[in-house]
Amino acid sequence: MRRRALKTDMPAITLVVCLYNEADLLQRLIERTQGCYDELIVVHDGQDTMGTRAIVEAAGGRFFERPRAFQQEPHWPFAWGEAKHDWILRMDADEAPSFALAEWLKNFRVTPETVADVSGYTCVWPLWNGKRQVASHWPGNRIFLLHRQRVRFIGMAEQVPVPDGRWEKLSLVLEHRPQRLSYGLRYVFTRPQAANWRRVIAESLLPDTPAHLEQWRWEKRPWPEAWEVVRTRPVRTALIRVLWWFPCSLIEQWRIEGRPFPMAVLTPLLMQSLICLKYIRLRRQKRRDAD
């Protein structure tokens, strides 16, 4: 009886992966995370045409196909609700834990939880240029493990979980190795997926509240401040995020990494500014349609 009680006190983990036609990468992720989780849930964004279900079921996981949303965040509330465990391990198909991070997760699963104010853990997510890792410590603060009863969330692209408590920062590495360059002007202006993200986010911001979005413990709260300023002051917000946030972020990157990667810093800020401009166009169109 004593051994059974101790096992119950251990924090069990559900690995949640949301993807779109990345069956080969998912297979690698499953192999690299052996022993790091207790349950596997995979949500496919749209129709699965690459046999992803078979890979998931062969690994003992549960597979769900959901309507195409062009991003993973809208599926998180559903996936978290399906999970058997409160601790959610969040990884993309093109990611994998480093050896040290995998060992940390294995130890986490067999260590009784004692801290109740930790909403989750963050790690280092080193910059990858499509062929090799070009940074060691930047960017950081990638949320990889969270307690679903200690966070709140609205299912919109580019939104992160809002903690009830605090994020515990780790210096361990989550390897992010997409098969393409994930920053740069071409990534922003010519990639169809980037245009889809901007459209979906701008459309989501048109209603006065986020009530139309899938939610997790949001409880009728208003828009997060970062999105509310896009809705109320889009031009000012676009200018601030490029002209002010860029030098500040570049200085922070230099402090952490010891060298600059200007385009990697500029890419997300350009995306956010373009979201502001897309929102302005859609808002004007909505007003014209209403007149």
Answer yes or no: do 6 and 115 share one domain: yes
Answer yes or no: do 160 and 281 share one domain: no
Tally of structural domains, the chain: 2
Return the structure tokens found at 270: 């350009």
Answer yes or no: do 103 and 190 share one domain: no
Q: How far apart are CA 220 and CA 205, in angstroms?
A: 15
Q: How far apart are CA 138 and CA 232, in angstroms?
A: 32
The mean per-residue pLDDT over the stretch 168-172 comes to 97
Answer yes or no: do 62 and 45 share one domain: yes
Answer yes or no: do 116 and 211 share one domain: no
Query: Which residue, among 116, 124, 118, 95, has the nearest Cα to 36 in the 3D structure?
Result: 95
Query: pTM of the full predicted structure?
Result: 0.93
Return the structure tokens found at 277: 């401009």
Which residues constitute the domain of residue 280?
185-290
Sign of CA dihedral 234, 236, 239, 240: negative
Answer yes or no: do 238 and 134 share one domain: no
pLDDT at 157 over 80: yes
pLDDT digit string, tens, across residues 175-204? 999 888 889 999 999 999 899 999 999 999
Answer yes or no: do 167 and 189 share one domain: no
The mean per-residue pLDDT over the stretch 115-142 comes to 93
Answer yes or no: do 199 and 168 share one domain: no
Answer yes or no: do 274 and 192 share one domain: yes
Backbone φ and ψ of 139, nearest 5°? -80, 160
pLDDT at 8 over 60: no
In this structure, are residues 221 and 152 in contact, taking their beta carbons and an 8 Å threshold? yes
Q: What is the CATH number of the domain that holds 27?
A: 3.90.550.10
Q: How far apart are CA 33 and CA 95, in angstroms?
A: 10
